[in-house]
Chain A
Amino acid sequence: MAAPLLATKLYRPTPRSSGVLRPRLIAQLNNGLDRSLTLLAAPAGSGKTTLLSQWLAEGTWPVAWLTLDDDDRDPVRFMAYMVAALQTVVPQLGNQLLTTLLAPQPPPIAAMLTTLINELATLAQPVVLVLDDYHRVHSPPVDQILAQLLAHMPPRLHLVIATRENPQLALASMRARGQLSELRAVDLRFTLAEATTLLNQAMGLDLAPAAIATLEARTEGWAAGLYLVALSLRGRSDIADFLHSFSGSHRFVLDYLLEEVLARQPVAMRRFLLYTSILDRLCGALCDAVVADPAIAGSATLDAIERANLFLVPLDDERRWYRYHHLFGELLRQRLGQEPDLPGEHIAALHARASAWYEVHGLELEALQHAAAAADPVRLARLAELSWQRMDSTFQSVAWRRWVQQLPAAFLHDRPVLSTQYAWAHLDAGDLEASEVYLRNAERWLDASRALRSAEPVVVVAEEQLHTLPVRIALARSYLAQAQGDLAATVHYAGLALDPAHAAEPLLRAQAEVLLGFAHWSAGDLDAAYQAIAGWVEHTRQTGQLAFALASAFGMAEIRIAQGQLREAARIYRQFLQLAPPDDEAMRQAAPHLHLGLALLAHEQGNDVAAARELQASHECSLQASLIDWPFRWCLAQARLQESAGAWGGALDLLDEAGRLYVRNPVPDLRPIAAIKARLFLRQGNLAPAMAWAAAQGLAATDELSYLREFEHMTFARVLLARAQHETGEPGERLLDAALRLLARLLAAAEAGGRSGSIIEILLLRSLAYAALGDVQRALVSLAQGLALAAPEGYVRLFIDEGPPLMRLLAAFHSAGSRQPAVLRGYCEQLLVAARYRPAGTAQASASATGEQAILLEPLSAREREVLQLIAEGLSNQELAARLHISLHTVKVHTRNIYGKLGVTSRTQAVARGQALGMLDRP
């Protein structure tokens, strides 16, 4: 279920009838409509919102309005509200997107933003989007969203930002390009003429010009100050006295004036204003509950306040919800704390009453917020425990955790259910250490057999969750252990959860089973892991919980890939893609993953067309929805493709991004990002950071082996091979010898575990090591073994990404002719074609050939070959950019990379070299 959106945040304030029109500013705003952004940056109380509401009421364009608050710093929530605001004027816009944004696990922001920008580009009419109170957001990710939007500004959209401080956007360059219209404090300051209109006409006073000049000077034309002046003067006879003492005082303008205004209110009204200042939003019933005085009726009083112009802002057309003008509200709250007859505990009582009202009305977050402000931990703890399941099943577990964090530790101490919920909230967020603390606490209620015992004093509100506590704790324990790589503990706790004595409900049992499956997977017991995950998938499928089944399909496919069964893995992905129609909610979340899996398989098999197609499908699906780890997997897959294209730098950046996106979870981390990066460094010929990685991981050729570290050890063997290249004679041979012994042990382990994927790679590395030793015979034997295993499954990338040394071996294998099985020769030929390998002159390419003339160390990507072809046809950089629909900058990046890979410094040299390598079509 989705979290509700507050309609009041989307309400555009209507202009006050008593407001002063300011034509000079409205003209300035109108002129700014030609530009991308209008920025109103001015201090609190300058009249920003009032001006905007007047301006927009005059205009004829549709206006989407969004009032921001502190919670909008979450970029997903911000996006959701932005789309909802736009829908108030273009109802069909981003419908799909909004559902996605409100789902428990929304896809990456960048993807959703692209969709939104594309939809906005098709707007049939101009739309003004207003973001009011932007200063409250304070969030670089949200700034980033706006920066992106402004960089690709849809032509019909105009953005207005009202804020107390400059937003973190590239304002200077927008100013320079004439894309920015600005109204700042100096513009919003009331002129003498405007002050006269406000005081004498709008507020109905009759002040002499000299008096107005005095007030304008004293308030410095500050809208809030002038307004309070008018309220203080209304119905007053001693105007001269007021003017004298106000202008003679050095006191802060608002401080002085608020006192004047409050002093003139009836006692009941004064109390109402102060008491209700603790509320972010006000409605009659809520005010009744908070003020708790039958003599003061909430709705009627709100009406009276609005009529008296006491800074009350309506939040809807029905005049149901209001808020105080921010500055006025702040001043009231400050006064509330100073009331002599209202000590601190009374203020807490106000918050407690607000919390109770929100609880009854089902607004759980607000109830938690006021319980925290009431410093009432008992209440906060109770509300938290009761709301967890609903908050967890929506996307609000982060907010839930934030409020529970305000509880004194002692309050979690004797609450086993809350403590377990809190532990799960930490697990969801990947904070394993914090989770451990609260699990340990909850476990005090378990006896030696880890069943519930009644000895400890206990506070439980959600009684129905108490009897399943042992199972829930065991599951959390198992999850935690698996995320920490403690396999024995994973198995132990999953077993406890499955203990028949607990008679756990089927879903909890199935959760335990799949955790067991993950443990088998980590231990390298691939068949047992496959069975467990397939069992879980079957159970959830039969019970109609398709989301779980689809989300776990990748596990089955990945295990088959590790077993070297690429075709079976592809079949699994395809089978699951057919399990439900594309618009099924569960399918919408899983489809991006399934397509991504197919893309990577196609890539491995050298089918670039299919890989591109699946990648595109994955990306398109992800715009609708995806699972929580999709951004991480997407970056990893992109890095893999960049690596194959020889774009090392881009691949390394993507891996860093993937590392940032990684959330610790129970799926075994079999290919640590640091190890993938070390491989890329080696491909770059950058030995130092690869060696530093090996040292930091404490890797040695004599290490005990495990499946979890297999990838690291294979990478370490690569480091040894690379180091050997830099040594001659005995030191080099010693390194190769160490590598060969490590590879032999890795091979034995992989064979024992039935991991054909690893076996092939190890055989290739062994072949390269023998070749480096000059033992071509053995090199070719290993290669033949690898080819025999790989041929039926159609591996391509595993071979050709190894680059020239392996290509030379393949060429040597191929040229050995009739001594090799025909099937393998054909496969070998296919690999050489895929690698665009051109032997240097003779058919006797051997391991000792330099390869310098023969082939490139880094192959050109398809795009780079395209650019080179166009250079050969004589196109200038500008013409290239136009032809390929890319920027001039990108063209330059491509040419620089081409020069680097070809080892040339000019266009003519590049074309000559390209022709020599047979890369160019004849013109």
Chain B
Amino acid sequence: MPDEHHPTTGMQRLAVYRIRVRGQLDVCWSDWFGGMAITTTENGETLITGQVADQAELHGLLRQVRDLGLKLLAVNQCDPAAGSPQLPSPRSATEQ
């Protein structure tokens, strides 16, 4: 398990997660998934990618997937350094 806190600054390091589901979702679903980036693949799958503050937030996103009856294919943690620096992070309801 990578540690969730930056060892020197004590600042929380946001983890980037990528959720892969069956079927292509329109980008307008981004809001539904708290502002995560929605991208589709040619083989008919959708990648929901973004920064997640903690495990509780990740589980909340997985519940959204469940409640839409989407078929969950994979959940991966991505290396933020390797990913795009502009990845959005989920927004809480009050900020929207």
Contact = CB atoms under 8 A, between A and B. Distances in A.
Interface of A: 43-46, 135, 164-165, 222, 224, 249-255, 326-327, 330-331, 334, 337-338, 344, 375
B78 to A, nearest CB: 23
A334 B68 CA distance: 11
Contact of A251 (B26, B67, B69, B96): B26
Contact of A253 (B23, B32, B67): B23
Contacts of A222: 69
Interface in B54-88: 66-70
A284 to B, nearest CB: 28
B32 A252 contact: no
Contacts of A164: 66-67
Contacts of A331: 68
B33 to A, nearest CB: 10
Contacts of A255: 23, 25-26, 29
Contacts of A252: 23-26, 46, 68, 70
Contact of A330 (B44, B46, B67, B96): B67
A327 B67 CA distance: 7
Contacts of B4: none
Interface residues on B, range: 10 to 19
A585 B26 CA distance: 59
B39 interface: no
A46 B69 CA distance: 9
B68 A327 contact: yes
A46 B46 CA distance: 21
Given A251-B24, A251-B26, A253-B23, A337 B68 contact: no
A253 B67 CA distance: 14
Given A338-B28, A344-B96, A250 B23 contact: yes
Given A164-B67, A222-B69, A334-B32, A250 B96 contact: no
Contacts of B40: 250
Given A44-B69, A224-B69, A344-B96, A250 B44 contact: yes
Contacts of B28: 334, 338
Contacts of A375: 94
B36 to A, nearest CB: 14
B69 A45 contact: yes
B23 A43 contact: no
B24 A43 contact: no
A45 B67 CA distance: 9
B66 A165 contact: yes
A44 B24 contact: no
A120 B23 CA distance: 47
Given A250-B44, A255-B26, A44 B31 contact: no
21 contacts: A44-B69, A45-B69, A135-B66, A165-B66, A222-B69, A251-B24, A251-B25, A252-B26, A253-B23, A254-B68, A255-B23, A255-B26, A255-B29, A327-B69, A331-B68, A334-B29, A334-B31, A337-B31, A337-B32, A338-B28, A344-B96
Contacts of B29: 255, 334
B51 to A, nearest CB: 21
Contacts of B25: 251-252, 255
A730 to B, nearest CB: 51
Nearest to B72: A43
Nearest to B26: A255
A186 to B, nearest CB: 13
Which one of B32, B69, B94 has the highest number of Cβ atoms from chain A below 10 Å of its Cβ? B69
Contacts of B68: 44, 252, 254, 327, 330-331
Contacts of A327: 67-69
A215 to B, nearest CB: 15
Contacts of B70: 252
A254 B71 CA distance: 12
Nearest to B62: A165
Nearest to A42: B69
Contact of B69 (A43, A249, A344): A43
B84 to A, nearest CB: 23
A251 B44 CA distance: 7
A177 B41 CA distance: 45
A44 B32 contact: no
B19 to A, nearest CB: 14
A43 to B, nearest CB: 4
A43 B96 contact: no
Nearest to A335: B28
B69 A254 contact: yes
Contacts of A135: 66
B47 to A, nearest CB: 13
Contacts of A165: 66
Contacts of A330: 67-68
Contacts of A334: 28-29, 31-32
A185 to B, nearest CB: 10
Contacts of A254: 68-69
A251 B31 contact: no
A44 B67 contact: yes
A251 B29 CA distance: 12
